[in-house]
Structure 1
Amino acid sequence: MRYFSILLFAILFSCKSKESSLSAQQIIDKTIRYSGADKVANSIITFKFRDKEYGAYRKNGEYNLSRYYKKNEVLIEESINNIRFEKLVNMHPVKVNDSVANIYSNSINSVHYFSVLPYGLNDKAVHKKLLPSSTVKGKEYYKIEITFSEDGGGEDFDDVFIYWIGKEDFLVDYLAYSYHTNGGGKRFRVLKEQCIKNGIRFVDYHNYKPLKKDISLVDIDKYFEKNELKKVSEIVLKDIKVIDLDN
């Protein structure tokens, strides 16, 4: 009996050691692969989000991220690529001053960034930190904190993200972030629905904010379970289409 107890302890310790040996980088690599986000790098992706249509072309490091919408029956296209921001009104180029172009660029990039997560989490400006594991709604998760270098981290380089990645499936079910624009704040996104398009996982979210401003980002999942967050919106992508440029 004693031998059996020692053997069981050894097995459990071995499993625990193996689990804890995974680094933040290894976990992110797995979630990118398991969600099919590695396919995003060479693809064309289109979708609708709220009142606008979005398109993303990515190929061998080149990209063009765009959005299309109508305003007073006028067709507007705004896009960012490796070089610059561009705006077309009824297919004709329009000059936009730098401050407005930055606002538009950040807005376009934000929608595209969130649409294909965890793609982008291996960019050079990204820093990963493994936090203590968490259990949410009875499921065990790795928690990864993401911060950014000022050099290459974009306009909002000082934002902080946390991802809850399932220990069994290595998929992101929850994410939280703190931001500083428009007075700043925190958000917690909860998986609503998911779908697979041409091997890439896309996720719709319920979007929450804390009832109290002093709630720490790292503990926001605990407040979610205690119903101390307020739902403010839903993040839903419609009519998603994917073309794989590797085939």
Structure 2
Amino acid sequence: MKYLIGFILLSLVGCQKSEHKTIEPSEVMEKAIEFSGKSKLNENVLKFKFRDYSYKAIPTCEGFQLERLSTASPTKDVVKNGELTRFYQDSIVKLADTTAFSYYESVNSVHYFTQLPLRLEDDAVRPTYLGEEEIDGKAYHKLKVKFTENDGGEDFKDTYIYWFDTSDFSMDFLAYSFLVNGGGLRFRRAINQRTIKGVVFQDYENYKPKETSRKLEDLGQFWESGDLELLSKIENENVTLESSALNCN
């Protein structure tokens, strides 16, 4: 009898361990991308308007060609293969390196957030699973993302935190640290979620900590306690998807 009891206890312990299996960050990212439908950006041209510019992301066999067109002048910035080229009408504008880098950062940043969570597939991404965290009464998978220096671009030292709903893997919150312009922390809450041709898009409320001593990993709890202040809203308008004729075979 005692051997039978011991077998039952071991079986129960085994069941408990299997129920608390740690989820891999790659699994969270895959399910988040699946929920978002953002893989369709690899075969469709994305267009949208953000503030005073019109943006376009064109899939290519090497990644994306990212564009920004001013609504006030015939000026267009094109980012391809990690470099920015500025055009005025059809002529290339010679830019100082620092100016070109500033424009590159601006164009890439807007497109990056619009393409999330698809960009978590980038080769430079190095994710870490931080466990589950509750925000606004809901459970979230919490991931930290760092980047390799070789493929991570100029901002490879930036760090991101993403919160994915444990039930449907929607990306409801994100936060990041940055070093440019004196550095700082930002926290974003997703708003206005809508689905266009099977792709989920959302806007954001953009917050910063009221105190500079805050840690990136703690921003979810500071959101809960009201210790973040609203800076701006990130709202994309006139979002459209157009089929691309891309063929990389």
Superposed pair shares fold, TM > 0.5: yes
Structure 1 residue aligned with 2:3? none
Structure 1 residue aligned with 2:44? 43
CA distance in 2, matches of 1:128, 1:64: 25
Structure 1 residue aligned with 2:195? 196
CA distance in 1, matches of 2:156, 2:95: 24
Secondary structure in structure 1 of the residue aligned to 2:78:
strand
CA distance in 2, matches of 1:24, 1:246: 33
Distance 1:198 1:216, change over 3 A: same
CA distance in 1, matches of 2:19, 2:58: 39
Measured after TM superposition, the shift of residue 79 of structure 1 is: 0.8
Do the aligned partners of 2:176 and 2:185 also contact (CA within 8 Å) in 1?
A: yes
Q: Deviations over 1:79-131 (max 9, x none)?
A: 11126422111332222232211111111001000011001102111100000
Gaps of 5+ in 2: 1-7
List aligned pairs for 1:14-163, cutoff 5 A: 17-18=18-19, 20-71=21-72, 74-82=73-81, 84-163=83-162
Do the aligned partners of 2:210 and 2:227 also contact (CA within 8 Å) in 1?
A: yes
List aligned pairs for 1:232-243, cutoff 5 A: 232-243=231-242
Structure 1 residue aligned with 2:4? none
Per the normalisation by structure 2, the TM-score is 0.89
**How large is the Cα RMSD of the aligned pairs?**
2.3
Do the aligned partners of 2:128 and 2:144 also contact (CA within 8 Å) in 1?
A: yes
Number of paired residues?
Answer: 239
Secondary structure in structure 1 of the residue aligned to 2:41:
helix
Do the aligned partners of 2:54 and 2:71 also contact (CA within 8 Å) in 1?
A: no
What percentage of residue pairs aligned between the two structures are identical?
Answer: 35
Distance 1:155 1:205, change over 3 A: same
Instruction: Give the letter aligned to residue 227 of structure 1.
Output: G
Secondary structure in structure 2 of the residue aligned to 1:121:
helix
Measured after TM superposition, the shift of residue 70 of structure 1 is: 4.0
Gaps of 5+ in 1: 1-5
Instruction: Give the letter aligned to residue 33 of structure 2.
Output: I
Per the normalisation by structure 1, the TM-score is 0.89
Secondary structure in structure 1 of the residue aligned to 2:23:
coil
